């Protein structure tokens, strides 16, 4: 038996725009992990400019710590730098 696809029945306000059924699409994007303050700020600015040119609301998302790093020492160093961003 096929399950019915349920649509989002409510809307949610995020900042100055709303999401949900009947509202425009929006973008959630950013680097998987913050490597440096300069890189994360440049990346956020570029993505924001693209989203703005498309008239699309943008939510920046990135992580300051990733558990799947191959070296825990590198992950710790990156995490400490990220806290300063």
Does residue 43 fall inside a structural domain?
Answer: yes
Q: Give the residue with greater pLDDT, 7 vs 30.
A: 30
List pLDDT tens digits, range 42-76: 999 999 999 999 999 998 988 876 665 555 555 55
Looking at the structure of the chain, the number of domains it has is: 1
Residues facing residue 19 across a β-bridge = 12
Residue with token string 């400490």: 80
> Full-prediction pTM beyond 0.75?
no
CA distances to 4, 20, 28, 47, 75 from 62, rounded to whole Å, are 33, 23, 10, 13, 15
Range of the domain at 67: 24-83
Does residue 48 fall inside a structural domain?
Answer: yes
List pLDDT tens digits, range 13-45: 888 888 888 888 899 998 888 878 888 889 999
* Rounded Cα distance, 57 and 12, in Å: 14
């Amino acid at each position: 038996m096929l399950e019915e696809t349920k649509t989002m029945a409510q809307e949610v306000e995020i900042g100055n725009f709303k999401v949900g059924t009947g509202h425009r699409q929006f973008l959630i994007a950013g680097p998987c992990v913050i490597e440096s303050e300069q890189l994360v700020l440049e990346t956020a600015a570029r993505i924001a400019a693209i989203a703005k040119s498309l008239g699309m609301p943008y939510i920046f998302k990135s992580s300051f710590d990733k558990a799947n790093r191959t070296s825990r020492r590198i992950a710790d160093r990156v995490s400490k730098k990220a806290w300063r961003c």
